[in-house]
Amino acid sequence: MTHRRDGSRWLGRVVAVGVAAWVLLAAEIGPGGAVAAAETGFEPVPPVKAKPIWDRFVILIWQYKTKVQEDLPLYRQVGFGGFHIDRGAGKGALVDFARANKLPYYVDHAADKGILHLTPRTGKNRVLGKNSVVPRPHCLVDPKTIDLLKGHLRRNIAVTKNGPVVAYAFDDEVSIGSFNSPSEVDGSPLSVADYRRWLRGRYGTIDKLNATWGKRFGGFDEVAPVSFEAVRRRHASGPLAKWNLAQWMDWRSYMDSQFAGCLAKLTRYANTLDPTTPAGFVGGQQPAPYGGYDYAKICKAVQWIESYDIGGSCEILRSLWRDGRRPYVQTWFSTTDARKDGWFLWYYLLHGNRGVIAWPDRGGSWFRHTGGKIAQFTRDAAETIREVQSDVSRPILDVEASFDADPIAVYYSHPSVQATWAMDVVTHKGTWYRRSSSLDNRCQSAGKNRVAWFKLLEDCGYQYHVVTGEQIAAGHLIDRKYKVLIAGRVAAMSDAEAKAIRQFVRQGGTVIADHLTGVLTEHGVGRSGGGALDGLFGIRRDESKGYLGGKGITEIDGEKYNRPFTQRLMYGGALRHKGMVVYERGTTAAAGKAAATAGSAAVVVRNSLGAGRTVYLNLTPIIYYDLDARLGAPGQAWRELASSLLDEAGLAPRAKATSGGKLIPLAELVYWRKGDRVVVGLVKNPTRQGSITGVGKVHGVTGSPVDVTIRFRKPVTDVVNLRTGAKLPDGQTIAAGKWKPWEALLFQVTMQ
């Protein structure tokens, strides 16, 4: 959660892996695993199945301004039945109380405070506000640090494992530095030595590293990490073909690997103490260059997460944990509006969260609020609080059920997060290191692009899975039978990823890319001959004409972070196609066929290869993140374009939610499947800017109830209203009745 937890700190160590160890590990992982092992430096940890007591949605109350032993009658008055234990050592009586009252709990700060989440007391101020590489106060590869953390885990788990514990959190808001603010750590000797080992495992020879970095090192022992400041001035403008961010991006990638390896080490150790309970952390951040938040790595290192829903982290977790159903939960900050709170709980249940951790403070505790009562806004939400935790949640959270997406993959490229961040911070010039985590959450182009694509697909009636570059390189697109790949702002990709994408298209797949696709390698090195897939897209680039308005490379001006979102977009002088902003001013069609031109730029360029096809939009969808734009003319233009392209790819929505014969704005249909039985859920889907200190802005969920009809493309049978138990007629429509937009509709159907 946030500073309210006073800096839960845990630390872990990373495995210092040499070349021989990587070779051995690759053999253990099997075909395709060598690259992953060399990149992360650890073997992925296996999942731990959620306990029987966690077979439904659970609200866990953070123990702030409340004590469950004293307030249990108030908890039960509104339907709360779970809580948290801090640390655990010396809390045997609390564990006994939970066991006697059958109250599930999770353990926070199981590895204590101040190490993984640095505080002023433990050295946070020594890593923030610096533009050079600095040591981390607690080095994550120092055996002394690891032993300290293991000692905390031993003491705390020894006590808390004796009750109805559902999960262990090492600490809260863990980070290499502080949240995802720029922190150029860890420059300590142990970390630098491990970095050199990691580079040796990744490159093999110093000649290969030199060729990539453009350097002349005599050996890996001469290599040292560099901060962004060392490369900043050479990357403040185009052409991107001449960029080389490899020294900085490799350093950031190593620190992500160090962090994830540390988490993996702690997870495995916690499993030796209690093999039946998942271990992970709470207060997760959005994907970012700093902080350690590469979810492609983190998702292999832990067994459960509470992560803020910023930058699409919820959908990333849902996708990367589709196999094994590792628990993920959300932070719940009450809005004091029972309807908004109710929507929040329904929305995150339908999106696969196994529960929420409630921060029970909004202008005073929820408990003993006035006259010893529970707060009125909490009482007003009691019906929803009880229902979301009832049997109605079980079909969604059944470990044998899976999110039933359409055959659409959305590309998650963490190297692109790093590279496009370098474009984002040009506007800050020499003050880049002051770009705070909260500012990054509001202005990071990769995160906003990702969410824009998610909302666009959902509004067009589709669901999707997120796939990583590593999965793509391993043949995931073909193996999982995807039909469409969405490549949003994938500026950096490897040759292996590009090769796999070409094979996917040859075999009948469709690739839809927006802009900058593959202009850099996975190391951040510009490709002088154009993007890795330019031939596949049938395009030709001329960077001399620039991007967007032609004057810079930053799309979202972080210097204007306190202004409305659309006022931060640097679109002055930009070319447009049907109101949509053109990104690359000099990109033209070569073998491909452009649907139109804007100035000298080609847009919506179609091409084909084998049985498949590609579409290069040369447009930016980030405007779709803004709710007003999403509901207005820009949103309509984007939905028309995306729907037509998906239709050309042979896809069609499985169902549509209508009222009075018209589509309902912001109405999302989600699907969870177990065999041929499918849960169909309808929930309002606003654009929510999450926050680490509050629910964020939520719009459009408190309107009037409307009559809803769900129209399916194919007939469904055995229809049951999960909320009422009523059986409904078979057919292609469900007359759902009145829908309160702050609630969800839930049906179970047989669907082939």
How far is C-alpha 667 from the chain's CA centre? 22
Domain C-terminal end among 648, 669, 690 = 648
DSSP alpha helix (H) spans, 8-83:
19-29, 33-40, 68-78
Q: Which helix (H) or strand (E) holds 159?
A: helix 143-160
Using left for φ > 0, alpha for ψ between -120 and 50, and beta otherwise, residue 123 falls in left
Residue 741 DSSP SS3:
coil
Cβ-based neighbours of 531, under 8 Å, separated by 6 or more: 516, 517, 518, 519, 537, 539, 541
Tell me: do 143 and 234 sit in the same domain: yes
How far is C-alpha 478 from the chain's CA centre? 23
CATH number (domain holding residue 109): 3.20.20.80
Tell me: do 131 and 271 sit in the same domain: yes
pLDDT of 1 higher than 60: no
Task: Find the distance separating the first CA and the last CA of the chain, reported in whole Å.
Answer: 41
> What is the pLDDT averaged over residues 359-375?
87
683: in domain: yes
Tell me: do 549 and 414 sit in the same domain: yes
CA atoms within 13 A on the CB side of 218: 1
pLDDT of 6 higher than 70: no
pLDDT of 330 higher than 90: yes
Q: Mind listing the pLDDT tens digit for each residue in 248-281?
A: 999 999 999 999 999 999 999 999 999 999 999 9
pLDDT band for position 697 (50/70/90)?
low
> What is the pLDDT averaged over residues 714-742?
97
Cβ atoms 128, 178 nearer than 8 A: yes
- The DSSP line for 514-553 is -SSTTSB-TTSBB-TT--TTHHHHTEE--GGG-BTTTT-S
> pTM score > 0.85 for this model?
yes
DSSP alpha helix (H) spans, 274-405:
295-298, 313-320, 338-350, 376-380, 382-388, 394-397
Say what percent of the chain tops pLDDT 70.
93
pLDDT at position 370: 76
540: in domain: yes
Q: Mind listing the pLDDT tens digit for each residue in 426-476?
A: 999 999 999 999 999 999 999 999 999 999 999 999 999 999 999 999 999
Tell me: do 428 and 316 sit in the same domain: no
342: in domain: yes
Tell me: do 379 and 419 sit in the same domain: no
- Domain range for 509 is 405-648
Tell me: do 452 and 517 sit in the same domain: yes
Please give the tally of structural domains in the chain: 3
pLDDT of 338 higher than 90: yes
34: in domain: no
10 Å CB burial of residue 711 (0-12, 13-18, 19+) is middle
37: in domain: no
Tell me: do 339 and 410 sit in the same domain: no
Tell me: do 609 and 742 sit in the same domain: no
479: in domain: yes
Total residue length of the chain: 752
Residue 281: how many other CB atoms lie within 10 Å: 31
The pairing of beta strand 58-61 with beta strand 355-359:
parallel
Domain C-terminal end among 623, 648, 673 = 648
pLDDT of 7 higher than 70: no
Cβ atoms 14, 265 nearer than 8 A: yes
pLDDT at position 700: 72
pLDDT of 28 higher than 80: no
10: in domain: yes
Tell me: do 362 and 503 sit in the same domain: no
Q: Which has more pLDDT, 13 or 116?
A: 116
pLDDT of 31 higher than 90: no
pLDDT band for position 703 (50/70/90)?
confident
Nearest CA-CA partner of 253 in 418, 110, 374, 428: 418
Tell me: do 595 and 469 sit in the same domain: yes
pLDDT at position 692: 57
For residue 687, what are its two tokens? 């654009």
pLDDT at position 37: 47
Least confident of 1-5, 155-159, 206-210, 213-217: 1-5
- The DSSP line for 267-305 is HHHHHHH-TTS-EEEEEEPPS-SSSS--HHHHTTT-SEE
Tell me: do 511 and 564 sit in the same domain: yes
Tell me: do 531 and 577 sit in the same domain: yes
pLDDT at position 728: 97
CATH number (domain holding residue 688): 2.60.40.1180
Q: Which helix (H) or strand (E) holds 608?
A: strand 601-609
> What is the pLDDT averaged over residues 234-243?
97
CATH number (domain holding residue 628): 3.40.50.880
Q: Mind listing the pLDDT tens digit for each residue in 610-623?
A: 999 999 999 999 99
Q: Mind listing the pLDDT tens digit for each residue in 292-321?
A: 999 999 999 999 999 999 999 999 999 999
72: in domain: yes
Output the 3-class SS for 442-480: HHCHHHHHHHHHHHHHHHCCCCCEEEEHHHHHCCHHHHC
Domain C-terminal end among 622, 648, 674 = 648
CA atoms within 13 A on the CB side of 142: 17
Q: Mind listing the pLDDT tens digit for each residue in 43-59?
A: 999 999 899 999 999 99
**What is the pLDDT of the chain when averaged over all its residues?**
93
- Could you give the CA distance from residue 440 to residue 332 in angstroms, rounded to a whole number? 22
Cβ atoms 80, 385 nearer than 8 A: yes
Q: Which has more pLDDT, 687 or 728?
A: 728
Q: Mind listing the pLDDT tens digit for each residue in 186-205?
A: 999 999 999 999 999 999 99
Cβ-based neighbours of 17, under 8 Å, separated by 6 or more: 25, 41, 42, 197, 198, 201
pLDDT at position 434: 97
- Could you give the CA distance from residue 174 to residue 170 in angstroms, rounded to a whole number? 9
Q: Mind listing the pLDDT tens digit for each residue in 94-120?
A: 999 999 999 999 999 999 999 999 999
pLDDT of 38 higher than 90: no
- Could you give the CA distance from residue 176 to residue 117 in angstroms, rounded to a whole number? 8
- Could you give the CA distance from residue 476 to residue 481 in angstroms, rounded to a whole number? 8
pLDDT of 707 higher than 70: yes
